[in-house]
Structure 1
Amino acid sequence: MNKIRFGIVGVGNMGSIHADYLFNNQIERAELTAICDLKPERLQWAKEKFSDKVKLFSDAEEMFNSRLVDAVIIATPHYEHPRLAIKAAENGLNVLTEKPAGVYTKQVREMNAKLQKSGKIFGIMYNQRTNPLYRKLKDIISSGELGEIKRTNWIITDWYRSQSYYDSGEWRATWAGEGGGVLLNQDPHQLDLWQWTCGMPKRVRAFMSFGKYKNIEVEDDVTAYVEYENGATGLFVTTTGEAPGTNRFEVSGDRGKIVIEDGKLTFWRLRQSEREFNREYKGGFGAPECWKCEVPIDGEAEQHKGITKNFVKAILDGTELLAPGIDGIKGLTISNAMHLSAWANDWVELPINEELYYELLKEKIKNSTYKKNNESRKLDINGTF
């Protein structure tokens, strides 16, 4: 095999982007050979755009069995990601899924186990892992130059969405259609980067509002406090109802502080660790000498294309995945914990009680406007129609 033949399941907003760059040969050693979508209008769009050069399907399993593809990109609504990933792997295909990995960790844990057992390459579209800002942050933290982490703080409120955005699809911002709000739709990248660079917390206390700013049933305003195993603390603040918003990620450690904001990484670097200074200094008022360093960032974020390029290399060359699919459960665990904490108005320890989360989510789905508007359609155990 010297070229990977891709099939795409779902050509909505994201799937159409993947289809376009693959069809136009922007990924070396990859080509677009098939597209699947349930909606006739999307298949008509694909027919007009790609002519007869791409085979079209209305059934995903039919495409998986066609022998026309070696790998699939799954770009469907969230609930369907695990089911389709498992089916694709069972048919011997490599899988690259859009974020989030799924809606609840019980579902995603099953997917991870089956995909690992399949032996196929499994990736997730965490395209922000290609961003050199966050790669540099991870490098500095991993190298020990920042010292032991004391505090993390991410304010990510530049996700403004209008009511017309939510009204553009009846599934949007519903428990049955999307499985959550800002945490499931907008924030999976930030939740992943948070744990990718700083590690997983051990417990979470979250406060959130549901339909606070718009006429929706899921969360649109979240403030969460977390604690880490080493005693460090963290704060995550997000919303879709604020304009203008802020995107500022701050990590404080024993040897200084790093801030990512406005496309820059700034390192306030201590010449001596704070703990050493505290032990040795006898002058009363005082603080360690600090240098403000504008850290140079090399390269550019290749975004979705970068993840797809890496995925192709993993299949053909054995290159390590930048975003392994099994990592998707980590950020999802944090968001599930935030939901559980808000629903119970209490602390939630990690790992979470997956069965409790699943049962509470099913109650949300049962009362969802999307389900009630589609009562003639059967809701399966995974919460999808």
Structure 2
Amino acid sequence: MSTPSTTTATDRTAPGRTDAPVRALIIGCGTIATLHAEVLTQHPDFTVTALVDVDRTAAERAAQEVVALGAVEPVVYDSIAEAVASGTVDLGVICTPSGYHIDNALELIDAGLHMVIEKPLDVSVAKSREFAARVARVERSGQVVSVISQHRFDPGSALIHQAIEEGRFGRITSAVASMAWYRSQGYYDSGDWRGTWALDGGGAVMNQGIHTVDLLRWFCGRPVEVHAHIAQLDHERIEIEDTATATVRFESGALAVIHMTTAAYPGLTARIQVHGSLGSAIQDNDELRYFHAGDGEVSANLREAKTIGNQVETVLGRRPGGDEFAGSRNQPDTFAAGHTRQYDDIAAAIREHRRPLVTAEEALLSLALVRSMYVSATLGRPVNFDDVLDGKYDDVTVTVSRRA
């Protein structure tokens, strides 16, 4: 094992330091870890130096995959503590099952390491609430903690958010967030943790749909009230839902509809629509399909004179490409591009001692919206979002209606 270094993560990544890549420890060497390893090894600001997995064979296999990407072979450690003590890591990348995320992160936070946590922040709002409070304290010293929400970095998503911030859609009145994907029974049978509340944290909403839910909340603001239904209609031998619907009321007064399923054969797309008094936008399969905005000024002839027609080609500088019904967005190249853009932001946050775009606090709010859906469906009535966030329903055990 390497001799521990006296150089801390924040020392090595102080503003202005561009000579030393950030050294990453990947925790959990499953499918999503492979993607992180690929992005990190090809990114000029990062290098993978260490791996940890409860299955050492998986970690050793991942080490060889890193070598195949043209990088130096990372060291495989038997525990997070051993990897941290080696003094060879600055950043922990948590890719374990969702129910382990906070537990793993707590092993890193006191060591001063920066952190990237795959979505969601965790399966527990209670644990995530306490963790986000701790992160708020360590951020003051330049420690960076970010949760993967790579679709905030899609060009179309960023453009929609900017237009909303500038008031170019006028008052946001409504939105629709829909994910019509398909997961086979074999997918759920492939791992003991899949389809469980304890480690998966939920199904169509928590595991697959949380990215689309996150975009909805990013666009529309803070939720106030959620009324949902969830069901298991197509799969067997799982605890969680494969279909969910909800209505959401936001602080602004905007109303939204959420539809999530992993039982839509053969698997279509994730789609979000945002509508306002001066314009609308549609993002489908991570591609901006429709964009129709004004200049933020209300006048008698604004809607007719300035905002008629699809402006996508104008705002993107190109025609939208691809088939909007080409299947789910779980394509490796799409995932890699989004993760790379988010790692660009994380690298800049580390260099500049600033908060990343996607903080633990932001991830907590999106997690609480998912939890609000589950609580509402279980109780059979609308719930107040802040009550869920503040812990009023922490003890509610989620139940799912099943097909006859």
- Note whether the superposition's TM-score is higher than 0.5: yes
Is 1:135 equivalent to 2:153 in the alignment?
no
Shift of 1:79: 1.4
Partner of 1:219: 241
SS at match of 1:267: strand
Is 1:16 equivalent to 2:34 in the alignment?
yes
Cα pair 1:5 1:68 within 8 Å, conserved: yes
**Closer, same or farther: CA 298–184 of 1 in aligned 2, 3 Å:** farther
Cα pair 1:270 1:288 within 8 Å, conserved: no
Is 1:38 equivalent to 2:73 in the alignment?
no
Is 1:197 equivalent to 2:219 in the alignment?
yes
Is 1:358 equivalent to 2:379 in the alignment?
no
The correspondence for 1:297, drawn from 316, 322, 330, is 316
Cα pair 1:146 1:254 within 8 Å, conserved: yes
Aligned residues: 350
Shift of 1:297: 2.2
**Closer, same or farther: CA 344–272 of 1 in aligned 2, 3 Å:** same
Cα pair 2:126 2:391 within 8 Å, conserved: yes
- Structure 1 portions without partners, runs of 5+: 281-286, 365-385
Is 1:121 equivalent to 2:144 in the alignment?
yes
TM normalised by structure 2 equals 0.80
Mapped partners of 2:317, 2:28: distance in 1? 34
SS at match of 1:352: helix
Shift of 1:133: 0.6
Mapped partners of 2:197, 2:317: distance in 1? 41
SS at match of 1:164: helix
Equivalent residue letter for 1:315:
I
Mapped partners of 1:232, 1:251: distance in 2? 10
Mapped partners of 1:228, 1:323: distance in 2? 20
**Closer, same or farther: CA 357–103 of 1 in aligned 2, 3 Å:** farther
Is 1:186 equivalent to 2:186 in the alignment?
no
Mapped partners of 1:272, 1:32: distance in 2? 45
TM normalised by structure 1 equals 0.84
Partner of 1:64: 84
**Closer, same or farther: CA 310–298 of 1 in aligned 2, 3 Å:** farther
Mapped partners of 1:58, 1:269: distance in 2? 54
Partner of 2:402: none
Mapped partners of 1:74, 1:140: distance in 2? 33
Mapped partners of 2:350, 2:235: distance in 1? 43
**Closer, same or farther: CA 31–143 of 1 in aligned 2, 3 Å:** same
Instruction: Supply the RMSD in Å over aligned alpha carbons.
Output: 2.5
Residue range with higher mean Cα deviation, 235-244 or 305-314: 305-314
Map residues 1-385 of structure 1 onto 2, 5 A cutoff.
1=12, 2-23=20-41, 26-50=42-66, 53-119=73-139, 120-157=143-180, 159-209=181-231, 211-215=232-236, 216-243=238-265, 244-261=267-284, 263-269=287-293, 291-295=308-312, 296-297=315-316, 302-318=337-353, 321-353=356-388, 355-361=391-397
Cα pair 1:86 1:115 within 8 Å, conserved: no
SS at match of 2:252: coil
Q: Percent identity?
A: 27
Mapped partners of 1:10, 1:298: distance in 2? 40
Shift of 1:149: 0.8
Mapped partners of 1:195, 1:341: distance in 2? 18
Shift of 1:130: 1.3
Mapped partners of 2:362, 2:155: distance in 1? 19
Equivalent residue letter for 2:99:
Y
Shift of 1:63: 1.3
- Structure 2 portions without partners, runs of 5+: 1-11, 13-19, 319-333, 400-404
